[in-house]
């Protein structure tokens, strides 16, 4: 168990547009990240992951890349990124870049060539298809709404876009495409980064283009040649380097994730899956209002804990990212200051004691909340705006739509990091590109750094614990009391050590089951335990 094993790492995710603005244009930039490097060191994380900073028309905030080798001017220059990597390394922080290679922007040179000339070699970089009738080639749906094929009258063909119409899917079956993408990865390895997050990487191998009963997912999710392609990518790029990689896997399975992340298969180091974040969907449908299904949450997390470990594979563990609402508003309780503080600490503890690599999304460490927007004009995200129009067309009432958006929109995560109680939360000297929740006077980094009891201090302690105690990284997991209404309980075991983790997800004290023995050393705790009951949103970890 090497001291520098990447498995002991904690990753901090940065969404540059909302992190810190140094130019006053209302959008974050690379210099803004450099400015906060000491803060990241203070937090104690090992890696920072930057969501895409490449040239992009920004229809999907950088997940629509128009040039893999250039930096988006809005974020800065290539020299800024060099400085960022240098400043990070100086502080023993590693840098991961986001690689989006399932699709490119339609502004990418490859697509522009492909689009204007049917005989161009670039045509086969994408999926252009004819249809036998008036309908698109298949009935597959875009993840952002509508059919996944866009018609081009000039050639009477359609191209495939699983996401926005400006994000055209790349044809990985074409070896030229694959090698062009490996060149991109190698360029950034030579640049000096330490790892990669691969966007929707389990969608790269499309199966047959046939009509679907399930919006098309079954044809391209964990598709027929995906493992072969990832192994090939590994061999041509990072495989023999000291790098950490994580693949974002959409609607995947445990079996496939073991294959993606099993070290002997030489694909990726680890995987993200989202099943535990669909526990407030109705029948798998995101654009609904639903409460957390607590049993389902425990069941899914534990199924993955038990399924993927013991040397089989490696998971990323996370509550938040730039696509998900803020966890304290979602599975915790932001209705009072006390419940926000306690539930954010409890959620952090319950997650960071699991096996896997924890990811902290900017602002999560200070318990930032959803902004609770009330007007459609406050939203910026292409997916949310599409969903709004689709729900309107389907006859939903405006208030109902706004309620759903305020629970589910990706913009919930995208409001700026609240640095201070000053103007614009210390994020910009101009005006932020998206509204800032009005709780920044209390919830901000400056205040959290001064308060010894803050959520931030809980996160710092959890990170230190992971670095100090091997049981958190390597220990096996034993789920307990799975049917309990309010408690999330499990044990970790390593050699002769046992740690017990108990978390109360409810807003009132809960009696501990009579056979729970709390003797041992308290490793971390928030809230209190009195007369055999654990307080509302409290959590405790005991080394026994
Ligand atoms: O997201 C992939 C993905 O499927 C989601 O998490 C997506 O945001 C969700 O399904 C919407 O309901 C990745 C990126 O994280 C996301 O920001 C991009 O928009 C998307 O890929 C396309 O590149």
CA distances from 344 to 50, 320, 337, 350, 454 (A): 24, 12, 11, 10, 10
The 10s digit of each residue's pLDDT in 340-388 is 999 999 999 999 999 999 999 999 999 999 999 999 999 999 999 999 9
Give yes or no: 248 in active site. yes
Q: Tell me, what's the pLDDT at 214?
A: 84
CA 328 to ligand 1 centroid distance, Å: 21
The 10s digit of each residue's pLDDT in 227-256 is 999 999 999 999 999 999 999 999 999 999
Average pLDDT, the chain: 97
Give the number of C-alpha atoms closer than 13 A to the C-alpha of residue 209, restricted to the C-beta side: 17
User: Using CA positions, which residue lies closest to atom 6 of ligand 1?
Assistant: 323
Mean pLDDT, residues 511-529 taken together: 96
Helix or strand holding residue 49 (H, E): strand 47-50
CATH (domain of 151): 3.90.400.10
Same domain, 294 and 162: no
Q: Residue 538: pLDDT above 50? A: yes
Where a domain ends, among 146, 169, 192? 169
Structure confidence at residue 4 as a pLDDT band (50, 70, 90): low
Q: How far is residue 59's CA from residue 62's CA, in Å, rounded to a whole number?
A: 7
CA 198 to ligand 1 centroid distance, Å: 11
Give the pair of three-digit tokens for residue 350: 């319950």
Same domain, 356 and 253: yes
Percent of the chain topping pLDDT 90: 97
Same domain, 123 and 50: no
Same domain, 218 and 271: yes
Give the pair of three-digit tokens for residue 431: 């005006």
Same domain, 423 and 356: yes
Has residue 470 been placed in a domain? no
Q: Residue 309: pLDDT above 90? A: no
CA 143 to ligand 1 centroid distance, Å: 8
- The DSSP secondary-structure symbol of 449 reads H
Give yes or no: 92 in active site. no
Mean pLDDT, residues 39-66 taken together: 98
Catalytic residue among 80, 164, 222, 248: 248
Q: Tell me, what's the pLDDT at 1?
A: 42
User: Using CA positions, which residue lies closest to atom 14 of ligand 1?
Assistant: 199
Residues of the domain holding 482: 476-543
Same domain, 380 and 490: no
197 lines ligand 1 (CB under 6 A): no
98 lines ligand 1 (CB under 6 A): no
Same domain, 130 and 98: no
Same domain, 83 and 206: yes
Q: Is-above-0.95 flag for pTM? A: yes
Q: Tell me, what's the pLDDT at 3?
A: 52
Has residue 469 been placed in a domain? no
User: To test ligand 1's pocket by mutation, which of 62, 102, 199 has the most ligand atoms within 8 angstroms of CB?
Assistant: 199
Q: Tell me, what's the pLDDT at 483?
A: 98
């Amino acid at each position: 168990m090497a001291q520098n094993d990447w498995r002991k790492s904690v990753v901090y995710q940065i969404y540059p547009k909302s992190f810190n603005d140094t130019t006053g244009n209302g959008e974050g930039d690379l210099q803004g990240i450099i400015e906060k490097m000491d803060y990241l060191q203070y937090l104690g994380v090992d890696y920072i992951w930057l969501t895409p900073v490449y040239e992009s028309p920004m229809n999907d905030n950088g997940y629509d890349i128009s040039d893999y080798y250039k930096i988006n001017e809005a974020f800065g220059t290539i020299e800024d990124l060099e400085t960022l990597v240098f400043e990070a390394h100086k502080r023993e922080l590693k840098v991961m870049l986001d690689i989006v290679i399932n699709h490119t922007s339609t502004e990418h040179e490859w697509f522009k060539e492909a689009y204007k000339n049917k005989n161009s070699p670039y045509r086969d970089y994408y999926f252009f298809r004819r249809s036998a009738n008036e309908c698109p080639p298949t009935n597959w749906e875009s993840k952002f709404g509508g059919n996944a094929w866009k018609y081009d009258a000039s050639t009477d063909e359609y191209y495939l876009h699983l996401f926005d119409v400006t994000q055209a899917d790349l044809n990985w079956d074409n070896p030229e495409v694959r090698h062009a993408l490996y060149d991109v990865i190698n360029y950034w390895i030579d640049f000096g980064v330490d790892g990669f997050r691969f966007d929707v990487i389990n969608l790269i191998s499309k199966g047959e283009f046939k009509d679907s009963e399930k919006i098309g997912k079954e044809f391209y999710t964990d598709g027929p040649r995906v493992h072969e392609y990832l192994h090939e990518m590994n061999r041509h790029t990072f495989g023999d380097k000291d790098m950490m990689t994580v693949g974002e896997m959409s609607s995947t399975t445990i079996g496939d994730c073991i294959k993606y992340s099993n070290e002997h298969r030489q694909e990726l180091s680890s995987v993200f899956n989202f099943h535990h974040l669909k526990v407030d969907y109705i029948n798998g449908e995101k654009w609904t209002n639903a409460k957390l299904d607590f049993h389902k949450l425990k069941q899914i997390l534990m199924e993955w804990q038990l399924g993927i470990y013991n040397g089989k594979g490696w998971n990323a563990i996370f509550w938040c990212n730039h696509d998900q609402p803020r966890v304290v508003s979602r599975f915790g309780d932001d209705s009072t200051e006390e419940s926000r503080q306690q539930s954010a600490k409890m959620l952090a503890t319950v997650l960071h004691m699991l096996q896997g690599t924890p990811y902290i999304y900017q602002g999560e460490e200070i318990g930032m909340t959803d902004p609770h927007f009330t007007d459609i004009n406050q939203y910026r995200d292409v997916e949310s705006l599409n969903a709004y129009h689709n729900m309107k067309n389907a006859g939903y009432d405006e208030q109902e739509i706004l309620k759903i958006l305020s629970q589910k929109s990706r913009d919930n995560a995208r409001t700026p990091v609240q640095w201070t109680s000053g103007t614009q939360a210390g994020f910009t000297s101009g005006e932020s590109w998206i509204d800032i929740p009005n709780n920044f006077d209390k919830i901000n980094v400056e205040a959290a750094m001064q308060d010894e009891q803050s959520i931030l201090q809980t996160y710092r302690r959890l990170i230190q614990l992971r670095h100090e105690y091997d049981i958190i990284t390597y220990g096996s997991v034993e789920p307990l009391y799975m049917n309990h209404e309010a408690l999330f309980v499990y044990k970790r075991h390593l050699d002769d050590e046992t740690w017990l983790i108990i978390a109360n997800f409810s807003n009132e004290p809960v009696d501990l089951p009579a056979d729970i023995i709390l003797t041992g050393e308290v490793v971390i705790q928030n809230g209190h335990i009195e007369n055999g009951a654990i307080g509302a949103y409290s959590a405790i970890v005991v080394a026994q």
